[in-house]
């Protein structure tokens, strides 16, 4: 088998002062594939994503293995981590409005990502940025390059973020609810762009989402998280055949078009879902 991009074994995360761990023994590997992470609010999805980039100030992260390519992430210095972030591993966040600097031109922010990681001239970085804006299907990249974040739409902003995160050609992209702020049509466009990039560049993608339909259609595999643990891992196409009662509960709680007016199922939580398997 091809060497995995990422190997996570027994990842545990505790926020400073908290009495329980937010992530409790998460284990998975990632190849050149699209891996979905689903689970209810607070189950620890974003915490896992940020831990991979070591972007959790004040939290204690431990793991038996947290290997990214040849690097053991938990043993890297902050300086070494700076070289990893944005260059080899990057994260696309939910809302571009919070991630772009409001007082700088969009294009300059994209070009800067390139300048930071590669030795090149400003003109070269600018050309790279323009090409990448075009690759994420921005129709008039030269115009958008000159605009400020408040002048572009949410969908455009999300594409700019994707361009920025992919510019350095990372091996792993973590997308944390990248389309939840977008309307349905723009959302499909953004997913298509991500999909194309995964195919063409052979990167690994972690897609964090609440949306079971989205991961079913978009991902290869899905991890289901509950209370800081992975309760089940499935091929995305087998999602409807999930066995864990929590996953079954999530599936049953989805509204269906034409599904009548019967009340939606409510999760019947069992205390044993919280327990860690030996």
Catalog residues that contact ligand ATP under the rule CB under 6 A. 15, 22, 39, 41-47, 210
Between 45 and 67, CB nearer to ligand ATP = 45
The site partner of 129 among ligand ATP, Mg ion, none (C-beta below 5 to 8 Å per kind) is none
Cβ pair 13, 175 in contact under 8 A = no
Q: Does 158 contact Mg ion by CB under 5 A?
A: no
Cβ pair 246, 267 in contact under 8 A = yes
Q: What distance in Å separates the CA atoms of residue 227 and residue 107, rounded to the nearest whole number?
A: 40
Q: Which residues pair with 47 in a beta bridge?
A: none
* Residue whose beta carbon is closest to Mg ion: 46
Between 144 and 207, CB nearer to ligand ATP = 207
Judged by CB under 5 A, the stretch of 21-29, 45-53, 74-82, 190-198 that binds Mg ion is 45-53
Judged by CB under 5 A, the stretch of 41-49, 149-157, 186-194, 244-252 that binds Mg ion is 41-49
Between 169 and 211, CB nearer to ligand ATP = 211
Shortest distance, CB of residue 199 to ligand ATP, whole angstroms?
Answer: 27
Shortest distance, CB of residue 95 to ligand ATP, whole angstroms?
Answer: 12
Shortest distance, CB of residue 122 to ligand ATP, whole angstroms?
Answer: 36
Torsion from C-alpha of 5, 55, 130, 201, nearest 10 degrees: 10
Q: What distance in Å separates the CA atoms of residue 146 and residue 45, rounded to the nearest whole number?
A: 35
State which of positions 3-22 bind Mg ion (CB under 5 A).
none
Shortest distance, CB of residue 20 to ligand ATP, whole angstroms?
Answer: 8
Mark 90-109 as b/e (b = at least 16 C-beta within 10 Å): bbbbbbbeebbeeeebbbbb
Shortest distance, CB of residue 126 to Mg ion, whole angstroms?
Answer: 34
CA neighbor of 220 nearest in space, from 198, 241, 242, 200? 198
Q: Does 46 contact Mg ion by CB under 5 A?
A: yes
Shortest distance, CB of residue 150 to ligand ATP, whole angstroms?
Answer: 25
Q: What distance in Å separates the CA atoms of residue 93 and residue 229, rounded to the nearest whole number?
A: 22
State the helix-helix crossing angle for 154-166 and 122-135, rounded to 10 degrees. Answer: 120
- Give the residue carrying structure tokens 């607070």: 42
CA neighbor of 43 nearest in space, from 212, 224, 209, 228? 228
Between 39 and 170, CB nearer to ligand ATP = 39
Between 43 and 179, CB nearer to ligand ATP = 43
CA neighbor of 223 nearest in space, from 208, 243, 245? 208
């Amino acid at each position: 088998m091809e060497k995995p991009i990422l190997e996570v074994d027994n990842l545990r995360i505790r926020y400073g002062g908290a009495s329980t761990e937010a992530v409790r023994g998460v284990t998975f590997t990632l190849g050149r594939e699209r891996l979905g992470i689903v689970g209810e609010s607070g189950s620890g999805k974003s915490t896992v994503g940020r831990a991979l980039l070591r972007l959790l100030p004040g939290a204690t992260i431990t793991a038996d293995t947290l290997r990214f390519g040849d690097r053991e992430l938990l043993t890297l210095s902050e300086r070494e981590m700076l070289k990893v972030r944005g260059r080899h591993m990057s994260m696309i966040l939910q809302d571009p409005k919070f991630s772009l600097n409001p007082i700088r031109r969009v294009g300059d922010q994209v070009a800067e990502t390139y300048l930071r990681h590669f030795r090149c001239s400003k003109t070269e970085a600018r050309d790279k940025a323009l090409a990448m804006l075009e690759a994420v299907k921005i129709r008039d990249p030269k115009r958008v390059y000159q605009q400020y974040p408040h002048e572009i739409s949410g969908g455009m902003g999300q594409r700019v973020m994707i361009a920025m995160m992919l510019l350095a050609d990372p091996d792993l992209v973590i997308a944390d609810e990248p389309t939840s702020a977008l309307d349905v049509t723009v959302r499909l466009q953004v997913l298509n762009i991500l999909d194309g990039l995964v195919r063409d560049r052979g990167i690994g993608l972690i897609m964090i989402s609440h949306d079971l339909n989205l991961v079913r259609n978009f991902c290869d595999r899905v991890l289901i998280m509950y209370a800081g643990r992975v309760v089940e891992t499935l091929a995305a196409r087998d999602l409807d055949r999930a066995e864990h009662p929590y996953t079954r509960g999530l599936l049953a709680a989805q509204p269906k078009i034409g599904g009548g007016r019967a009340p939606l199922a409510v999760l019947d939580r069992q205390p044993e879902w919280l327990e860690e398997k030996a």
